Amino acid sequence: MATHHLTLPVDVEAIRALRLGDLVTVDGEIVATGGLPTHKRIIEAMEGKRELPFPLEGAGFFHLPSYSRDTDQGFEIVYINPTTSTRFNPLMPKIIRHYGLRIVCGKGGLDAECARAMQEVGCVYLSILGGGATLHTDAIKEVTGVGWSDLVTHYRLVKMRVEDLGPLTVGIDAHGNNGYDQLESRARERLPALMEELRVARERAAAGGGSDPAA
Amino acid sequence: MAITYEAVKSLTADLYEWSLKRIPDDAKEALDRAAAAETNESARKVLSMMRRSADRAENTDRFVCSDSGVPVYFIKVGTQARFEGDVKRAISDGFAHLVETIQPPLLKHVTNPLTNERSYAGKDMPMVSWDMIDGADYIDITCAPKALGSGRWASLEIFSFPTLEEIEAYILDVIVKTAAQQCPPVTIGVGIGGTFDYCTKIAKLATLRPLGTPSSEPVLAAMEERLLKAVNKLGFGPMGTGGDTTALAIHIEYASGHGFTPVAVCFNCWINRRTRARLYNDGRIERIGGPWRRII
Ligand code: SF4
Q: Which residues of B179-193 are buried (b: 16+ CB within 10 A; e: fewer)?
A: bbbbbbbbbbbbbbb
Task: State how far the Cα of A205 lies from the Cα of B117, in Å rounded to an integer.
Answer: 50
Contact flag A135-B270 (C-beta cutoff 8 Å): no
Instruction: Give the pLDDT confidence score for residue A154 in this predicted structure.
Output: 84
Distance between B284 CA and the closest CA of chain A, angstroms = 33
A184 touching B (Cβ < 8 Å): yes
Nearest to B241 by CA among B28, B31, B34, B46: B46
Distance between B181 CA and the closest CA of chain A, angstroms = 5
Task: State how far the Cα of B132 lies from the Cα of A148, in Å rounded to an integer.
Answer: 50
Q: CA-CA distances (angstroms) from residue B161 to A184, B167, B218, B227?
A: 30, 10, 20, 20
- Residue of A36, A184, A211 to mutate for B, most B C-beta atoms under 10 A: A184
Question: Side-chain half-sphere of B259: how many Cα atoms within 13 Å?
Answer: 2
Q: What is the ipTM of this complex?
A: 0.89
Ligand 1 atom at minimum distance from B67 CA: 7
A134 touching B (Cβ < 8 Å): yes
Task: State how far the Cα of B90 lies from the Cα of B13, in Å rounded to an integer.
Answer: 10
A111 touching B (Cβ < 8 Å): no
CB B12 within 8 A of CB B91: yes
Alpha carbon nearest to ligand 1 atom 5, residue: A130
Alpha carbon nearest to ligand 1 atom 8, residue: A131
Residues A119/A124/A130/A135 CA torsion (nearest 10 deg): -170
Q: Write the CB contacts of A3 (distance below 8 Å, at least 6 apart in sequence).
A: A22, A23, A24, A25, A167
Beta strands A23-33 and A3-8, pairing class? parallel
B-chain residues near A191 (CB < 8 A): 172-173, 176
Per-residue pLDDT tens over the stretch A78-105: 999 999 999 999 999 999 999 999 999 9
Q: What is the DSSP letter of A7?
A: E
Instruction: Give the pLDDT confidence score for residue A209 in this predicted structure.
Output: 66
For chain A, domain boundaries: 3-177, 178-208
- Residue of A127, A134, A153 to mutate for B, most B C-beta atoms under 10 A: A134
A211 touching B (Cβ < 8 Å): yes
Task: State how far the Cα of B171 lies from the Cα of B167, in Å rounded to an integer.
Answer: 6
**pTM score:** 0.93
Contact flag A81-B65 (C-beta cutoff 8 Å): yes
Instruction: Give the pLDDT confidence score for residue A20 in this predicted structure.
Output: 93
Distance between A102 CA and the closest CA of chain B, angstroms = 21
List, in sequence order, every beta strand (DSSP E) within chain B.
3-4, 72-78, 83-84, 110-111, 118-119, 127-133, 138-143, 155-160, 186-193, 247-255, 260-268, 275-280, 285-287
A167 touching B (Cβ < 8 Å): yes
According to DSSP, the residues that pair with A31 across neighbouring strands are: A61, A159
Residue A79 burial by Cβ neighbours in a 10 Å radius (0-12, 13-18, 19+): buried
Contact flag A197-B108 (C-beta cutoff 8 Å): no
Alpha carbon nearest to ligand 1 atom 6, residue: B149
pLDDT along chain B (296 residues), means of 10: 96 95 94 96 93 95 94 97 97 97 92 92 96 97 93 96 97 93 96 98 96 95 98 96 95 96 97 95 87 33
Ligand 1 mean position, distance from CA A11 (Å):
32
Q: CA-CA distances (angstroms) from residue B18 to A120, A180, B14, B127, B188?
A: 46, 33, 6, 18, 22
Q: CA-CA distances (angstroms) from residue A20 to A169, A178, B176, B258?
A: 8, 8, 20, 49
Instruction: Give the pLDDT confidence score for residue B229 in this predicted structure.
Output: 98
Per-residue pLDDT tens over the stretch A2-49: 999 999 999 999 999 999 999 999 999 999 999 999 999 999 999 999
Residue spans of alpha helices (H) in A71-111: 92-99
Residue A160 burial by Cβ neighbours in a 10 Å radius (0-12, 13-18, 19+): buried
Q: What is the DSSP string of B34-67?
A: HHHH---HHHHHHHHHHHHHHHHHHHHT--S-S-
Ligand 1 mean position, distance from CA B83 (Å):
36
For A155-160, what is the mean pLDDT? 94
Distance between B250 CA and the closest CA of chain A, angstroms = 15
Beta strands B247-255 and B285-287, pairing class? unpaired
Contact flag A81-B67 (C-beta cutoff 8 Å): yes
User: Rounded to an integer, what is the distance from CA B234 to the centroid of its chain?
Assistant: 23
A-chain residues near B230 (CB < 8 A): 194, 197-198
Alpha carbon nearest to ligand 1 atom 2, residue: B269
According to DSSP, the residues that pair with B193 across neighbouring strands are: B255
B-chain residues near A133 (CB < 8 A): 53, 57, 62-66
CB A142 within 8 A of CB A125: no
- Using CB atoms, which residue from A65, A135, A180 is nearest to B56? A135
Ligand 1 mean position, distance from CA B146 (Å):
9
Beta strands B186-193 and B260-268, pairing class? antiparallel
Coil, helix or strand for A158?
strand
Domain A3-177 CATH (choose: 3.20.130.10, 3.40.50.300, 3.90.1150.10, 3.40.50.720)? 3.20.130.10
Question: Side-chain half-sphere of A13: how many Cα atoms within 13 Å?
Answer: 0
Ligand 1 atom at minimum distance from B147 CA: 7
Q: Write the CB contacts of B286 (distance below 8 Å, at least 6 apart in sequence).
A: B138, B277, B278, B280
